[in-house]
């Protein structure tokens, strides 16, 4: 940066334009992320500087039973959490978007406003609302669930708790992929759809053979956004279940595991920020892998298919 200024003093304004964003971003985003990765290779020492220990923290996380049991459990749960979003949230979002962008449907603006509303509320509110809705005390959903023969209370049983919190998250976020799908579907030219109609295609065929292939890039974006969001999730489970992610860590995902490790949880676990950075590094690598697969695998293929 300084080189630029020295070589071309007349273009000083470029520096003025770029510097504030560069400093802010470098200092409070890039640096903490990189420093966090670095810290995962160290160990805290009482009263002294951190000591470099190589990959020992990762070794502990993967193999030391004290850590590994929780870690693999959180990782597995996180994949279930992600799977529920991919299998429930995104198909529902696609269906709603397809219906909202069908020609001649009335009240689209109203439906869209209502369907998107939960997404604007905070996790805290959503979490508590659903905690109350699912509470056996109040019985709003607990009683119907009992009648249906589901394990109740839904948040308290190992078989149902994780899927239940995942579905609450789906309920909250379905509006976001719906908006992304709608925006893509609207931009498809009317003539294309008319042409398909004239050729005798039904609505169903038009959707799958004409509209859906054209919005594949958006399907990719929704996929990667879901992935990043899910492997970084924390708030909803923390508000609904608390840092201990009961029952018996059945709703523990990487985000809650990271929080509990870094800041301590319950009476038994003391804060361990360095192990926290180790978990954060794993989350970073998982998210990075997802993003790279998207950028080099999915997106490239989609762009090629489009041209």
Residues 78-137 that bind another protein (CB under 8 A): 92, 95-96, 99-100, 102, 104-105, 109, 111-125, 128-130, 132-133, 137
Residue 16 engages another protein in binding (rule: CB under 8 A): yes
Residue 303 engages another protein in binding (rule: CB under 8 A): no
Q: Which stretch binds another protein (CB under 8 A): 68-76, 155-163, 188-196, 231-239?
A: 231-239
Residue 39 engages another protein in binding (rule: CB under 8 A): yes
Residues 6+ apart with CB under 8 A from 30: none
Report the distance separating Cα 235 and Cα 124, nearest Å.
7
Residue 296 engages another protein in binding (rule: CB under 8 A): no
Minimum gap (Å) between residue 275 Cβ and another protein: 10
Considering the complex, state which of residue 13 and residue 190 has its C-beta at the smaller distance from another protein: 13
Considering the complex, state which of residue 56 and residue 176 has its C-beta at the smaller distance from another protein: 176
Structure tokens that stand for 253 in this block? 């995902």
Residue 20 engages another protein in binding (rule: CB under 8 A): yes
With H, G, I as helix, E, B as strand and everything else as coil, classify residue 48.
coil
Considering the complex, state which of residue 55 and residue 159 has its C-beta at the smaller distance from another protein: 55
Residues 6+ apart with CB under 8 A from 144: none
Residue 10: C-alpha distances to residues 13, 15, 272 (Å)? 8, 11, 51
Considering the complex, state which of residue 5 and residue 150 has its C-beta at the smaller distance from another protein: 5
Residue 277 engages another protein in binding (rule: CB under 8 A): yes
Residues 6+ apart with CB under 8 A from 33: 284
Would you give the DSSP letter of residue 9?
G
What binding mask, one character per residue, do residues 250-269 give for another protein by CB under 8 A, x or -? -----x--x---xx------
Would you give the DSSP letter of residue 165?
H
Exposed / middle / buried, residue 117 (Cβ in 10 Å: 0-12, 13-18, 19+): exposed
Residue 1 engages another protein in binding (rule: CB under 8 A): yes
Minimum gap (Å) between residue 41 Cβ and another protein: 13
Helices (H), the chain: 2-7, 12-25, 31-39, 56-63, 65-84, 90-100, 108-120, 123-134, 142-147, 158-173, 175-186, 190-198, 203-205, 212-214, 216-230, 235-241, 254-263, 273-292, 300-306
Total interface residues for another protein by CB under 8 A: 93
Residues of span 169-228 touching another protein by CB under 8 A: 171, 175, 179-180, 182-184, 186-187, 202-203, 221, 224, 228
Minimum gap (Å) between residue 33 Cβ and another protein: 4
Minimum gap (Å) between residue 91 Cβ and another protein: 12
Residue 305: C-alpha distances to residues 190, 298, 300 (Å)? 21, 11, 9
Q: Which stretch binds another protein (CB under 8 A): 30-38, 51-59, 68-76, 147-155?
A: 30-38
Minimum gap (Å) between residue 191 Cβ and another protein: 20
């Amino acid at each position: 940066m300084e080189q630029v200024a020295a070589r071309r003093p007349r273009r000083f304004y470029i520096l003025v334009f770029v510097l504030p964003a560069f400093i802010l971003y470098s200092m409070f985003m890039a640096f903490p992320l990189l420093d966090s990765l670095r810290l995962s290779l160290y160990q805290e020492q009482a009263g002294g500087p951190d000591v470099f220990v190589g990959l020992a923290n990762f070794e502990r996380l993967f193999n030391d039973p004290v850590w590994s049991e929780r870690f693999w459990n959180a990782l597995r749960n996180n994949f279930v959490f992600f799977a529920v979003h991919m299998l429930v949230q995104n198909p529902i979002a696609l269906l709603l978007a397809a219906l909202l962008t069908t020609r001649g449907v009335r009240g689209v603006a109203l439906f869209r406003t209502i369907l998107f509303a939960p997404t604007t509320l905070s996790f805290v509110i959503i979490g508590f609302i659903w905690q109350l809705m699912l509470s056996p005390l109040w019985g709003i959903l607990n009683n119907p669930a009992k009648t249906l023969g589901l394990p109740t209370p839904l948040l308290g049983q190992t078989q149902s708790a994780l899927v239940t919190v995942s579905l609450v998250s789906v309920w909250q976020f379905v509006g976001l992929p719906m908006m992304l799908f709608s925006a893509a579907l609207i931009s498809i030219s009317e003539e294309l759809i008319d042409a398909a109609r004239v050729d005798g295609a039904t609505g169903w065929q038009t959707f799958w053979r004409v509209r859906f292939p054209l919005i594949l890039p958006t399907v990719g974006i929704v996929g990667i956004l879901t992935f990043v969001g899910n492997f970084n999730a924390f708030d909803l489970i923390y508000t609904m279940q608390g840092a201990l992610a009961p029952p018996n860590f059945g709703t523990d995902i990487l985000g809650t595991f990271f929080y509990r490790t870094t800041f301590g949880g319950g009476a038994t676990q003391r804060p361990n920020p360095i192990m926290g950075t180790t978990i954060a590094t794993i989350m970073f690598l998982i998210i990075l892998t997802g993003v790279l697969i998207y950028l080099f695998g999915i997106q490239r293929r989609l762009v090629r298919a489009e041209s």
